[in-house]
Amino acid sequence: MTPLLLGFFISSSTVTGQLGLPPDVASKLHNDSQSINSTATDWGRIVHQSAAAVLYPNSTNDIATLLQFANNGSTHFGIAARGNAHSARGQAMAKDGIVINMTTLNNMGSRVVVSKSTSLGSYADVGGEQLWIDVLRATLEHDLTPVSWTDYLYLTVGGTLSNAGISGQTFRYGPQITNVHELDVVTGKGDLITCSSDQTPELFYSALGGLGQVGIITRARIALQSAPKRAIWIRLFYNDFSAFSSDQETFISGNGKQGNIGFDYVEGFVLMQQGPVDLSFYPVADHPRITSLLNQYGILYTIELAKYYDDTAKKSIDKVVKVLLNGFSYLPGFIFQQDVSYIDFLNRVHTEEETLRTLDLWDIAHPWLNLFVPKSRIADFDTGVFKGILLKEKVPAGLIITYPMKRNKWDNKMSAVIPGEEVFYVVALLHSSGLQEWQQFDEVNAEILQFCKDAGIMIKQYLPHYEKQQDWIDHFGSKLQSFQEMKFKYDPNKILAPGQRVFDDL
């Protein structure tokens, strides 16, 4: 359907009513320039596509009705759900179709409800449009918290659950998708279905990590546990990758060196001489010696840890942390820590965001590349990519995050794709650039992907973006057939999430 024709249908309540779209839903479709422009790009600032119209729903029924309408007739148009649009490659766009602005579901009132049951314990029923920061604040009012997070909390629940939702807690609790009891999903056919591992499980598992291809998540029942009060936030420096990765793997093994329960959060960073290097975490007096160390080696690695505690552990937490750090191989004298509130730790990236916004460095291009790298090849990746491509070519490194996770914390029935090894690493190359220079970073990304292919490193992309259909086939591997079956069952006209381009030619 062309934008002009769709615009005609939208502007005429009589015509839309005849085609099956009630006037009250048609009135929530907008094709004015402000609405169209508001959905024409995303966090990446790389892809720019105009929808024909934007739906501002007040209820999940509005979404279901629109999708039922989209399945009528012989001409179909794409529909994409847009939360906070933190995608980097247009995944939440629908060229010449309709974008659903999920945030207006907030007009229904509070969409975070905390409950408790004998079978599930504490949980929260959460609207798919809710930001994780709002979920956190609402659950903390009950001294409760979700257990698995993303690094940035200003993302929607439906958005992260459609991918996986990972952070430094994943090694212990699994990704966010494995901490969900139940979903409400509006399928591509417009059916509103409540599903779980026991009720319509095939939809439940395919929607979690399913890139929005089988349905739009409008509610999730999230597992909760007692919330800690504070966090000891630590960073350790390394100049040797082998020591860095070995210590990370020990930290996620579940126990510290002395047999104690370990840290609650484990991540890591790669720092490069060419920068830029963010030293805001560290005392100003230590900046010169950190910079000197980086200039000496050209590349450094830092492990980031957090140990949560509550009032009962306040007097003993320093001793606990000291014991947990005993015997590790970080550089002497290069250990730094802060004592912060639990919410301030989880919301740490937002603090950085506020700083970057003041410097006009937030709303810029983000040609990101996120990979899962098998443990057996992470040293080769360090040599070939970190020390090779990025360091030797003096690529402005931006933020590089790398840390290990455990396969047994994931549920293979879900749509998310990970490497086959028991331990694998997240490698997030979070490049930032001017709006006109992002292609140079994309060339570097392509070089990295080609290196992995030539070296036989069996990576998987996280938040994947592919230009060729064969790449999607390779990405899903053995999961492709079942994922296709779910797509054709729940979205037979391939209406949903066209910006992902998963089923363009399948």
Catalytic position from the list 86, 366, 431, 465: 86
Largest CA distance in the chain: 75
| Angle 211-213-214 from CA coordinates, rounded to 5° | 125
Q: Give Rg (Cα) of the chain.
A: 23
Catalytic, 267? Answer yes
- Quickly list DSSP for 439-477: HHHHHHHHHHHHHHHHHT---EESS---SSHHHHHHHHG
Q: 3-state SS string over 36-93? A: HHHCCCCCCCCCCCCCCEEECCCCHHHHHHHHHHHCCCCCCCCEEEECCCCCCCCCCC
Laid out side by side, the sheet with 369-374 consists of 335-341, 230-238, 299-309, 265-272, 399-406, 423-430, 369-374, 460-461
Catalytic position from the list 96, 247, 267, 382: 267
Question: Would strands 335-341 and 230-238 be described as parallel, antiparallel, or unpaired?
Answer: antiparallel
- For residue 497, which amino acid is it? A
245 — phi, psi (to 5°)? -70, -35
DSSP label at residue 254 = S
Distance CA 76, CA 259 (A): 59
Contact assessment for residue 65 and residue 22, using Cβ atoms and an 8 Å cutoff: yes
Among candidate residues 116, 141, 117, 112, the one with its CA nearest the CA of residue 127? 112
What is the crossing angle of helices 469-476 and 480-490, to 10°? 110
Catalytic position from the list 125, 151, 191, 240: 151
Catalytic, 352? Answer no
Catalytic, 182? Answer no
Contact assessment for residue 135 and residue 157, using Cβ atoms and an 8 Å cutoff: yes
Say whether 213 sits in a helix, a strand or coil: coil
Catalytic residues: 86, 151, 267
